[in-house]
Structure 1
Amino acid sequence: MSFQNILVPIDGSQTSLAAVDKAVELAKAFNSKITVVQVMTLDPYIAAEYITAAQTNDLIERARTSIQQNLDEAKKRFEAAGVQVETQLLEGQVVNTEITKAAKTLGADLIVIGSHGRTGFKKFFLGSVAQSILGQAEIPVLVVRGHD
């Protein structure tokens, strides 16, 4: 099995950097195209106001800047390893939905995502994105355990 188009969702955590490092290995092995994404979640009420008023909301702009920095950092890791990468800032209300939508749109054939590797009650909160993507994705998902 060969993976030509790998989607790597990140969130700025050490755990998501573990997924980046694993995706670097895979991209080198399969000569894959990589797209790194991070989702900026928008509260529907704030978002509606933001979009209709067409004005900048300081909180949204700061979030966008922070996410762009995360994407740039991930991009540097891939480029340092000689792997071509594209980045996308996604916007939506549900992180896992935006990620699975992006996978379809981009024609990805693998999702590589970090997970905190927690169990029980903590997993309910912190593993929910990876868990939801496993349930929603129609393509293989590689869950990489982080070290935090």
Structure 2
Amino acid sequence: MMESVKAIVLTLTILVVISIVTPAPPERKCRTVFTDLNKRELQQINVCTKELGYKSGREKSQKSTCTMKCVLTKESLIKPDGQLSAEQFDIYVMEHFPPSLIDRANETFNPCLALFDGKNIEQDEFCKSYDPLVKCLTRNFANLCRGLP
């Protein structure tokens, strides 16, 4: 019980510090945010693909989840030890989403994070243990702006 209270206090402290130090991004339409984040992700995919040094198209395809794990690691959403970082996700949302879209982003992505809450993510050559996370994030990201301008 005491550990969860400490974690909540730490998370709130981090969010307060972030909101003081990091100004919120300007208000933009959801589609603009989506497009900007999509471009950023595509750039990171290119970087990760080169860094991972796949020898063939087949290997690239087989290890596509590893590419996405690399992207999420570069965005600090996955820690260097391979575990998810809910705190860093909060920071990412605060840095990339205008205030009007923060609740929408949390509603969109928190179910994906909940898939791994408290679970140890195993490491394997094809990064298959990250498959549910990557698929959830990809599917939910595609629906981020559904019903919005």
Between Structure 1 and Structure 2, which shows a larger proportion of helix residues?
Answer: 2
TM-score > 0.5 by shorter chain? no
Between Structure 1 and Structure 2, which shows a larger proportion of strand residues?
Answer: 1
TM-score normalised by length of structure 2: 0.25
Question: Which structure is larger by alpha-carbon Rg, 1 or 2?
Answer: 2
TM-score normalised by length of structure 1: 0.26
